[in-house]
Amino acid sequence: MLDTHDPLIFSNQNKKEKIGGMEMANFMNGYGLQVIKGKNKERYFVSFTDGDGEYQRVEINFGIYSALFELNKRDRNLTRSDERNLEYSELTDETLIRRAFEKPKGIEEIILEKEMKKLFWKAIGELTDVQRKRLLLYYDCGLTLKEIANLENCSIRAIKYSIDIAKSKLEEKIRKF
């Protein structure tokens, strides 16, 4: 007598699901393999959904089971290999050309850039509040001198003078570095 409540004996699957008290291996290629251990022997099944959407389960011999299992294993290994190498196939011609013409930055250059940015933002922090605000509105936000003058209810000349003084202070700090 076949005991349908025994656990799946042998599977190397992507996912398991319970059907009628039995565990079934669902493979990515559309079929599932089952091994059901009875009292005297093991029985092998393949299950799938047919073209009409009906669930089908067919008993197969060990030879067919082994062949389907090996086929699934090869498919799975090929898929994993494709996933590992996917990055290389996603490189476009544009990316390859850009990499060819842009020399990668060296460690010294990266560290120097970070230090310059740190110094720059520190110098901006040392400006007066009015100078900092006007400088950032002009360069960071992209507002014109007239727009900043309207926001602060003052002349364009005062805004320009304030930004010029802030720029000269920043240049002086960076030159000292």
Q: Which of 34-38, 141-145, 161-165 has the highest mean pLDDT?
A: 161-165
pLDDT category at 150 given cuts 50, 70, 90 is: very high
Q: What is the pLDDT of residue 40?
A: 84
pLDDT tens per residue, range 106-149 = 788 888 888 888 888 888 899 999 999 999 999 888 899 999 99
Buried b / exposed e along 8-42 (16+ C-beta atoms within 10 A): beebebeeeeeeeebbbbbbeeebbbbbbeeeeee
Amino acid (1-letter code) at residue 4: T
pLDDT of residue 21: 42
CATH no. of 105-176 = 1.10.10.10
| Distance (Å, whole) CA 172 – CA 166 | 10
Percent of the chain with pLDDT over 90: 21
Q: Where are the domains of the chain?
A: 15-86, 105-176
Say if residue 29's pLDDT is above 50. Answer: yes
User: Between helices 129-139 and 107-125, what is the axis angle to 10°?
Assistant: 130
User: Residue 9 — very low, low, confident or very high, per pLDDT cuts 50/70/90?
Assistant: very low
